[in-house]
């Protein structure tokens, strides 16, 4: 009796199928765990890099260990270990909220810890599930033995394809469907369900494979075929070391370009909550398609595979740099794309069909589709070259993927800490592009292509890199500006800050999206958010403002002599430098006054993070107006955040938020017993009734310090106050609202509810605030 080949083929297909859902679950976790962990670390590029690198470190160690195990445990055992890994991942997922959110965040674990301590905790927390995730690919690479090494390489590539495709689907569906429909916690539970289904299915495969193998052994006279795997020393030959270096470079390059693409596309999209998911979906989906295409192509290709691989790498680099250069030129010089240039210049995010299709689909595809396709294609070709011994399959996959992760980790820190902080995006792109010359050198040493073509390839790449403009010109074109004197840019790892000087008014942008403006007397909303609460409170000694922007809210909050401390929290570290540069160019006296005010304490970190970790109490806390669809906006519109504000207010203190949606208003009323609305957008809450006596308020307005303070910015504060008082509405007076319509940390509905946006895409040309 022999093993039924059809049955084996079916079980192999089934294993590929469940590996899709394993990848799907993994990206549910990455998207959501990253959101949970920023509560603990604060929202900044550095903290997110810490989270991502901790995630990758666990994966890398898992790849390495999985490769060693796969080659040592014997026939069919890799499938059993995969079962145990999926069970472990799913089990951790079920308890992940209790560990990550309830313990790390709510209990303030490692309060006041250094960056190293924070990273160590993140690494240890994520090590268990990510290590198990990393085990999967090398283990399944040895699940079935193919007679031809080429078939084994194709099987590995198909595993990579299905897992990556599942990851792409997981990213897209999690962000667009699951979070909106069931929230973070239930989405994680769904991921755990997928893991358990994968484990159960793989256990059945293991059972039948073991049963059939036993029957075959019993009827076979030659048992040597089923002896344990050869545990001979792994062959570290020169060719394999070359591939180790190549996979490290590939990982470095891939993450560098991914981060650079994200910064560019986020700025062009104007910083939406879905930006990261759109970029990651395209990245993973095209890589999966490239991997599968490589499998299909390799079956018919009869040429030199190494030559094909090296030329593909060169194509990746020159296309990536060239596409960025073409985009720069096209948006500013092609009349048919003038609408994009104007959109990049504009203050608001627009959701018209043309803008959405261009910025959310066509531009990301133009920049990313070809390079990521080549990455996947190259994986398949490289496996066909590398995999020549079945007894070394696991270790080769493990070592290569581990070094790829090492390269990715180095790349992430290089771009974040060196590229953005010291080089700027444009120069970083040039430096990464120069790596392409390594492949021209390799082509030359192998004697591939003609000498003329090699020289032409090098010349083309160097010229393309040289033509990338300076950082200021680079971002000026992608911001719809043409005059350097009217454009201020500051860039670091936290974000891009622009100030555009447009006639009598100037506008502050963060990652392409308008935030506030100069001069202060033109910015009515931020005057209201800053001045009205300061004049309502009888004795506002300590005021906290979350968000600097143009400093308009901060300035207007400082108009009382009673105010001793103005703490301003700003997560964009470079924003003060942009404001100071604006002051230098325009001599704006009001902006200069508040930026040099001795009462002001600029705290350059996440405001919610600071309030959670510090017990200081305030008379007023205000979060500068943040669009509910912006990335991480849900963290400043959740019930838990409002509860934190209430905890950090003195008795009779005032909290202020923008009542952007019904959920925000109801969530605010669920926490504060006294809630008022003014100017149809500002929501004010307190634990005590607020005195709106016009007589008392106008006495404060007539104070000489207060009058002169606001007059410096040409603000008629009496007129502003009287108009606002006429708009006051009592939302609730002494009782907490009982409602199910609110945002929470576990379900930021407004941030991910794009139903209205899709409706607008089909409707009129308008912006979404």
Backbone φ and ψ for 143, nearest 5 degrees, come out as -65, -35
> Measured between alpha carbons, how far is 547 from 553 in angstroms, rounded to an integer?
9
Q: Coil, strand or helix: which one is 495?
A: coil
Q: Report the DSSP pairing between strands 618-623 and 542-546.
A: parallel
Q: Which two tokens stand for residue 287?
A: 């890589």
Residues 6 or more apart whose Cβ sits within 8 Å of residue 211: none
Q: C-alpha 285: how far from its chain's center? A: 17
Q: Coil, strand or helix: which one is 76?
A: coil
Q: By 3-state DSSP, what share of the chain in percent is helix, strand and coil, each rounded to 5?
A: 65, 10, 25
For the chain, what's the residue count?
769
Q: Which two tokens stand for residue 722?
A: 């009287």
What pLDDT is recorded for position 236? 81
Q: Quick one: angle between helices 149-173 and 115-141, nearest 10? A: 130
Q: Write out 105-167 in H/E/C secondary structure.
A: HHCCCCCCCCHHHHHHHHHHHHHHHHHHHHHHHHHHHCCCCCCCHHHHHHHHHHHHHHHHHHH
Q: Average pLDDT per run of 10 along the chain, which is 769 residues long?
A: 55 88 95 88 71 85 91 84 96 95 80 70 87 92 70 88 95 94 96 96 86 54 44 74 96 95 94 87 96 94 95 98 96 93 92 91 97 97 89 89 94 93 97 97 95 96 97 95 95 94 94 94 95 96 96 97 97 95 96 97 92 94 86 92 96 95 95 96 96 94 96 96 95 92 94 68 47
Q: Coil, strand or helix: which one is 348?
A: coil
Closest by CA position to 195, among listed 136, 143, 139: 136
Please report the sign of the dihedral spanned by the C-alpha atoms of residue 206, residue 207, residue 212, residue 214: positive
Cβ 57 vs Cβ 123: under 8 Å: yes
Q: Which two tokens stand for residue 512?
A: 């392409």
Closest by CA position to 547, among listed 658, 473, 647: 658
Helices (H), 174-304: 179-218, 238-269, 275-300
> Measured between alpha carbons, how far is 111 from 569 in angstroms, rounded to an integer?
19
Q: Which two tokens stand for residue 538?
A: 């009888």
Cβ 717 vs Cβ 725: under 8 Å: no
Q: Which two tokens stand for residue 459?
A: 């010349």
Task: Indicate the Cα dihedral angle 200, 205, 211, 215, nearest 10°.
Answer: 180
> Measured between alpha carbons, how far is 245 from 523 in angstroms, rounded to an integer?
55
Q: Which two tokens stand for residue 190?
A: 């769904």
């Amino acid at each position: 009796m022999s093993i039924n080949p059809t049955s084996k083929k079916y079980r192999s297909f089934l294993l590929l199928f469940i590996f899709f859902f394993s990848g799907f679950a993994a990206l549910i976790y990455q998207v959501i765990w990253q959101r949970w962990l920023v509560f603990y670390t604060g929202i900044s590029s550095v903290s997110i890099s810490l989270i991502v690198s901790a995630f990758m470190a666990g994966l890398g160690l898992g790849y390495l260990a999985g490769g060693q195990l796969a080659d040592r445990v014997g026939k069919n055992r890799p499938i059993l270990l995969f079962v145990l890994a999926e069970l472990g991942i799913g089990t951790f997922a079920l308890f992940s909220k209790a560990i990550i959110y309830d313990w790390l965040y709510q209990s303030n674990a490692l309060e006041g810890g250094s960056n190293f301590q924070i990273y160590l905790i993140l690494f240890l927390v994520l090590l268990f599930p990510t290590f198990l995730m990393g085990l999967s690919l090398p283990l399944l690479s040895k699940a079935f033995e193919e007679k031809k090494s080429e078939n084994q390489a194709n099987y590995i590539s198909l595993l990579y394809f299905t897992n990556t495709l599942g990851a792409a689907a997981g990213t897209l569906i999690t962000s667009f469907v699951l979070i909106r429909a069931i929230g973070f916690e239930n989405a994680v539970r769904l991921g755990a369900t997928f893991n358990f289904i994968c484990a159960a299915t793989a256990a059945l495969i293991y059972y039948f494979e073991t049963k059939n193998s036993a029957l075959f052994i019993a009827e076979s006279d030659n048992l040597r075929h089923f002896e344990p795997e050869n545990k001979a020393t792994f062959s570290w030959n020169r060719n394999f070391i070359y591939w180790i270096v190549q996979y490290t470079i590939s990982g470095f390059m891939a993450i560098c370009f991914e981060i650079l693409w994200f910064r560019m596309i986020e700025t062009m999209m104007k910083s939406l909550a879905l930006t990261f998911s759109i970029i990651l979906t395209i990245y993973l989906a095209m890589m999966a398609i490239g991997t599968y295409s490589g499998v299909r192509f390799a079956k018919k290709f009869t040429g030199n595979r190494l030559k094909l691989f090296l030329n593909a790498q060169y194509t990746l680099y020159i296309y990536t740099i060239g596409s960025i250069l073409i985009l720069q030129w096209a948006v500013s010089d092609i009349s048919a794309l003038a609408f994009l240039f104007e959109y990049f210049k504009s203050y608001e995010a627009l959701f018209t069909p043309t803008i959405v299709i261009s910025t959310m689909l066509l531009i990301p595809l133009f920049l990313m589709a070809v390079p990521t396709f080549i990455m996947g294609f190259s994986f398949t070709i490289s496996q066909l070259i590398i995999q020549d011994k079945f007894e070394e399959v696991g270790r080769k996959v493990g070592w290569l993927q581990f070094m790829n992760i090492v390269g990715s980790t180095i790349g992430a820190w290089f771009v974040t800490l060196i590229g953005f902080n010291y080089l700027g995006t444009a120069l970083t792109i040039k430096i990464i592009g120069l790596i392409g010359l390594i492949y021209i050198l390799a082509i030359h040493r192998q004697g591939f292509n003609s000498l003329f073509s090699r020289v032409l390839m090098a010349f083309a790449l160097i010229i393309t890199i040289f033509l990338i403009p300076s950082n200021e010109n680079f971002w000026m074109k992608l911001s719809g500006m043409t005059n350097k004197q009217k454009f201020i840019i500051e860039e670091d790892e936290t974000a891009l800050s622009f100030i555009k000087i447009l006639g009598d008014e100037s506008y502050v942008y963060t990652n392409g999206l308008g935030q506030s403006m100069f001069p202060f007397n033109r910015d009515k909303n931020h005057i209201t958010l800053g001045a009205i609460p300061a004049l309502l409170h009888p004795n506002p000694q300590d005021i906290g403002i979350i968000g600097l922007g143009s400093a308009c809210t901060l300035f207007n909050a400082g108009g009382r002599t009673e105010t001793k401390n103005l703490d301003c929290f700003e997560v964009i570290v470079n924003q003060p430098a942009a404001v100071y540069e604006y002051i230098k160019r325009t001599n704006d006296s009001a902006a200069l006054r508040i930026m040099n005010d001795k009462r002001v304490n600029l705290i350059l970190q996440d405001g919610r993070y600071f309030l959670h970790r510090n017990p200081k109490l305030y008379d007023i806390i205000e979060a500068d107006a943040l669009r509910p669809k912006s990335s991480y906006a849900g963290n400043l519109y959740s019930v838990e955040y409002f509860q934190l504000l209430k905890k950090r207010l003195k008795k009779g203190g005032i909290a202020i938020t923008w009542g952007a949606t019904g959920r925000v208003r109801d969530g605010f009323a669920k926490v504060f017993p006294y809630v008022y609305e003014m100017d149809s957008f500002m929501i004010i809450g307190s634990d005590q009734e607020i005195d709106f006596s016009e007589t008392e308020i106008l006495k404060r307005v007539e104070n000489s310090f207060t009058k002169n303070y606001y007059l410096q910015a040409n603000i008629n504060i009496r007129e502003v106050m009287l108009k606002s008082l006429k708009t006051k509405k009592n939302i609730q007076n002494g009782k907490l609202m009982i409602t199910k319509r609110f945002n929470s940390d576990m379900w930021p509905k407004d941030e991910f509810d794009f139903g209205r946006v899709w409706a607008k895409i089909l409707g009129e040309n308008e912006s979404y605030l």
